Amino acid sequence: MHDLIIDNAVIHDGTGAAPQRGAVAVQAGRIVQSGRVEGNATQRVDARGLSLMPGIIDTHTHYDAQITWDPFANPSPALGVTTVVMGNCGFTIAPCRPSDRDLVMRNLTHVEGMSIDALRTGIDWGFESFPQYLDQLERKGVGPNVACFVGHSGVRTFVLRGDAAKRAATADEVKQMRAIVAEAMEAGACGFSTTRSGQHNGEAGIPMPSRLADNHEMTTLSATLRESGKGLLMMTKGADTPVPWIEELCAAADRPYLIAALLHSNLTPEATFDDLSRIREAQSRGRRMYGAVSACPLNFEFTLHEPYVFEGLRAWQPLMRMDPKDFAAALAEPALRAALKAELTERSRRMFTGEWEKAHVAQVADPAHAGYEGKSIGALARAAGQHPVDFMLDLALAENLDTMFTATLLNSDEDAVGRMMRDENAIVSLSDAGAHLTFLCDAGFGLHVLGHWARERKLMPIEQAVHKLTAEPAKLFGIRDRGTIAPGHHADLLLFDPATVGRGASRRVFDLPSGASRLTTPATGVHGVWVNGKLVADADGIRADAPKAGKVLREFAA
């Protein structure tokens, strides 16, 4: 007797092969038969008209903090994700000494887009070392399967304490960091992650610690993975981080290297393709380098209380360091505005492109401004005879900064995004689930790939889209026995309606610790999500009775 048979489905097995109609039988959390199935089952699901695929593997999430109070990593499992990779960009909360917890949270509050109150209220700090963090996850249980990078900024803060975001490390400090990375790899980290991005800042504009690392530190820590003989490296590169330098780090590690965050900008339309060309050249020299490419337009919803979108601008830097009580007055300064306007004419790689027709007033605070809602800042500024910078800042100031804006920042050129996604070295990723919570939610990136890119735009056959969301990341990360539907593999499964699968519009909910808000998106066309053979989500989202069926993945193929 099997535990579960899913019958009459169109099966996409994850390998990229043409789909087959058939059934899948599950026993004790594993797939035991696929295609033709014999025997009976305690539970039988008739999947007529539906498609079955391996659960989506989301390789770029930031659930490290959230998962300590929300073991289900909301909303990812509802969106078809059965495995999340956490600790990207070097942002991990382990290792961390009790006395450094507040420092780490203040660093994270910005990049996670989560209030410091939510982090202070929410995080369960029952660990100090990285191995203890993994142990805690295992002890408390997790909804989806979880893999975790050991993060550079976490390690650097552990060793350099208050100096982590201030200076280069000494040779001795690099040695200590190296030992911690090695210990984490031994305990079950999936790799080592870091960031060089100018967009990655802690509280008050302090750069995330890894940005202070010099070449010696970067090379030494990368090389740690050579001795581990497993795992991969990931870096979110900065606008000026040269891919050939990352290739040197890749060579030092002799392990695969995943480069984020490749998003397309209309200001520098060839830049991402240049990165992908460099990656292709490195591949031809035997380096296993890949680009993490986003399948989603980067849409932010924000007020100027949290002006993350502008924080990559040079002209904005003084604002980040000033006392919050002086912030509003500074926004009125003509000198600041002149500097912003000038910088926005530069064709540089940055998050806020200054495409004012793609920035909108979403919600006003003063009913007298209701007529602005839904209109672009470009159009409103033209009508008012103002520069868009002045229009936006004046409106925000008139409403105590409570005006809600939306902006499409990157990845708005769909032809370009499609070209990036089809690149042979592209890994479709970058949901950033668990981060930027107040600004966006791309946790449903996989459903967007299936519905928008495969079904509507026919960018690739659906079996290829499934492959890119499952077996491809499983192979890169050395995740064993997952990512394909095959006898012996773990029963991580997504049952969906190919005619309707996708993600709905984002909406704001107020369920973070201390009542802070986040954006979320519902799934469409999802009928069931099984993690290790257990049903955790259905058409209504994560089930109220969902078991903590996930595993903390600690062993990875070499």
Residues that bind Zn ion (CB under 5 A): 88-89
**Residue 535: helix, strand or coil by DSSP?**
strand
CA 515, 521, 523, 529 torsion-angle sign: negative
Q: Which is nearer to Zn ion, 312 or 354 (CB)?
A: 312
Q: Which is nearer to Zn ion, 88 or 109 (CB)?
A: 88
> Shortest gap between Cβ of 155 and Zn ion (angstroms)?
16
Q: Which is nearer to Zn ion, 258 or 546 (CB)?
A: 258
> Shortest gap between Cβ of 196 and Zn ion (angstroms)?
12
User: Are 73 and 433 a contacting pair, CB within 8 Å?
Assistant: yes
Number of residue whose CB is nearest Zn ion: 89
Q: Which is nearer to Zn ion, 89 or 466 (CB)?
A: 89
> Shortest gap between Cβ of 464 and Zn ion (angstroms)?
25
> Shortest gap between Cβ of 391 and Zn ion (angstroms)?
32
> Shortest gap between Cβ of 147 and Zn ion (angstroms)?
15
Nearest 10 degrees: Cα torsion 429, 431, 434, 438: 160
Q: Which is nearer to Zn ion, 47 or 89 (CB)?
A: 89
Q: Which is nearer to Zn ion, 88 or 92 (CB)?
A: 88
Rounded CA separation 75/511 (Å): 12
Q: Is the peptide bond before 269 cis (omega within 30 degrees of 0)?
A: no
> Shortest gap between Cβ of 290 and Zn ion (angstroms)?
16
Q: Which is nearer to Zn ion, 195 or 220 (CB)?
A: 195
> Shortest gap between Cβ of 272 and Zn ion (angstroms)?
17
**Residue 361: helix, strand or coil by DSSP?**
strand
Rounded CA separation 107/116 (Å): 9
Q: Which is nearer to Zn ion, 88 or 438 (CB)?
A: 88
List of residues 6+ apart from 346 with CB closer than 8 A: none
> Shortest gap between Cβ of 227 and Zn ion (angstroms)?
26
User: Are 287 and 251 a contacting pair, CB within 8 Å?
Assistant: yes
Rounded CA separation 23/30 (Å): 14
Instruction: For 248-303, give the secondary structure using H, E and C.
Output: HHHHHHCCCEEEEEECCCCCCCCHHHHHHHHHHHHHHCCCCEEEEEECCCEEEEEC
Which amino acid is located at 351 in the chain?
A: M
